[in-house]
């Protein structure tokens, strides 16, 4: 397995590969990441995995400092999966501190994660853009767990005419239904069990939304259910899969999305569903 850290080496090496599939990660690999990689490996052996904890997408410095870093075990997992190349740049290689230009996202006022994580998606798009310009993949594999992030990146690639096809991958879950996330490692055993309440509530909400007219009532009901169980709810909402806006009466393909905190640990999840 080739481990690449330098930008000049990366550009030369990746330019020699055909039809590259790129899986960007921040490390601390779990079953969700492995699912992304397995999807990629089914298309081609030319799978490039990046490991970079992106400081520009954290609006809380403590969150960045405490993010789990497990590079040794990550590389072992990737080697066992049969990954041929891993890109592990540092902040200097990606010119994080000396940027003269910045990305601004227009018309992105969904009232979702951007409301609570100022600059988060600008940071995500900036780094994914840089990595794609270096690796030049044909495909970009992204998980559906970060649903708004997936939407933003798809729109960015479309708007700027990147010759890249995004491959969305279904969320992998813990045995209790909780969406797999590196943040799960920060939960105690009791918190991990309690976190299953998120999935159970949004699953039931998706079942009870039989029409556009009863969405608002269902949102309020399940928000109150979780608040009563000591959850700090940032949002619990049903949106259009296509636009992430509140659905119009003609829309059938919806997604219930949630962001909530258990003590100071922030968790997100979503379930796609259709109504009659």
- Three-state secondary-structure class, residue 190: helix
- Three-state secondary-structure class, residue 25: strand
Q: How confident is the model over 6-22, as pLDDT tens digits?
A: 999 999 999 999 999 99
Cα 272 from Cα 266, distance rounded (Å): 21
Selected catalytic residue, list 33, 120, 151, 246: 33
Instruction: Locate the domains of the chain by residue range.
Output: 2-169, 182-270
Least confident of 140-149, 161-170, 183-192, 222-231: 183-192
Region 175-196 average pLDDT: 94
Q: Which residues pair with 208 in a beta bridge?
A: none
Residues of the chain above pLDDT 70, percent: 100
Out of 3.30.1300.10, 1.50.10.10, 3.10.270.10, 3.30.450.20, the CATH code matching 182-270 is 3.30.1300.10
Cα 48 from Cα 136, distance rounded (Å): 10
- Three-state secondary-structure class, residue 197: helix
Smallest CA-to-CA distance from 37 within 106, 107, 86 is with 86
Would you give the distance in Å from CA 206 to the centre of its chain? Answer: 21
Q: How confident is the model over 30-79, as pLDDT tens digits?
A: 999 999 999 999 999 999 999 999 999 988 888 888 888 999 999 999 99
Region 185-201 average pLDDT: 95
Superfamily for the 2-169 domain: HUPs (3.40.50.620)
Active site residue 33: yes
User: Residue 121's pLDDT is what?
Assistant: 95
The DSSP element (H or E) to which 106 belongs, if any, is none
User: Residue 212's pLDDT is what?
Assistant: 82
User: Does 2-169 match 182-270 in CATH topology?
Assistant: no
The pLDDT mean for the chain works out to: 94
Smallest CA-to-CA distance from 49 within 20, 90, 69, 72 is with 20
User: Residue 88's pLDDT is what?
Assistant: 98
Judge contact between 156 and 129, C-beta under 8 A.
Answer: yes
**Structural tokens at position 174:** 């813990």
Q: Outline where the chain has alpha helix (H).
A: 7-14, 31-41, 61-66, 71-81, 113-116, 120-135, 147-159, 189-194, 196-208, 215-227
Strand order in the sheet with 47-51: 2-4, 85-87, 47-51, 21-25, 139-143, 165-169
Q: How confident is the model over 67-118, as pLDDT tens digits?
A: 889 999 999 999 999 999 999 999 999 998 888 888 888 877 899 999 999 8
User: Residue 276's pLDDT is what?
Assistant: 76
Region 247-276 average pLDDT: 94
């Amino acid at each position: 397995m080739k481990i690449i850290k330098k930008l000049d080496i990366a550009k030369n090496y990746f330019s020699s590969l055909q039809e590259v599939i790129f899986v960007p990660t921040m490390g601390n690999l779990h079953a969700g990441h492995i699912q992304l990689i397995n999807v990629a490996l089914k298309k081609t052996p030319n799978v490039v995995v990046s490991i970079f904890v992106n400081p520009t997408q954290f609006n809380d410095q403590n969150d960045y400092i405490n993010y789990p870093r497990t590079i040794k075990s990550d590389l072992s997992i990737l080697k066992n999966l049969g990954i041929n190349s891993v890109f592990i740049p540092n902040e200097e290689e990606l010119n994080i501190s000396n940027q003269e230009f910045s990305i601004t996202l227009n018309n992105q006022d969904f009232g979702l994660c951007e409301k609570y994580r100022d600059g988060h998606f600008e940071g995500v798009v900036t780094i994914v853009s840089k990595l794609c310009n270096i690796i030049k993949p044909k495909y970009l594999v992204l998980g559906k767990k970060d649903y708004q992030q997936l939407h933003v990146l798809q729109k960015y690639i479309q708007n700027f005419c990147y010759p890249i096809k995004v491959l969305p991958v279904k969320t992998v879950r813990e045995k209790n239904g909780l969406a797999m996330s590196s943040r799960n490692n920060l939960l105690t055993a009791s918190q991990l069990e309690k976190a299953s309440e998120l999935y159970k509530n949004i699953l039931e909400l998706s079942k009870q939304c039989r029409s556009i007219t009863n969405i608002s009532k269902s949102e309020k009901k399940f928000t109150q259910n979780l608040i009563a169980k000591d959850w700090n709810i940032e949002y619990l909402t049903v949106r259009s899969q296509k636009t992430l806006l509140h659905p119009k009466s003609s829309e059938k393909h919806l997604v219930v999305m949630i962001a909530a905190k258990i003590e100071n640990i922030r968790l997100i999840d979503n379930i796609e569903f259709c109504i009659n």
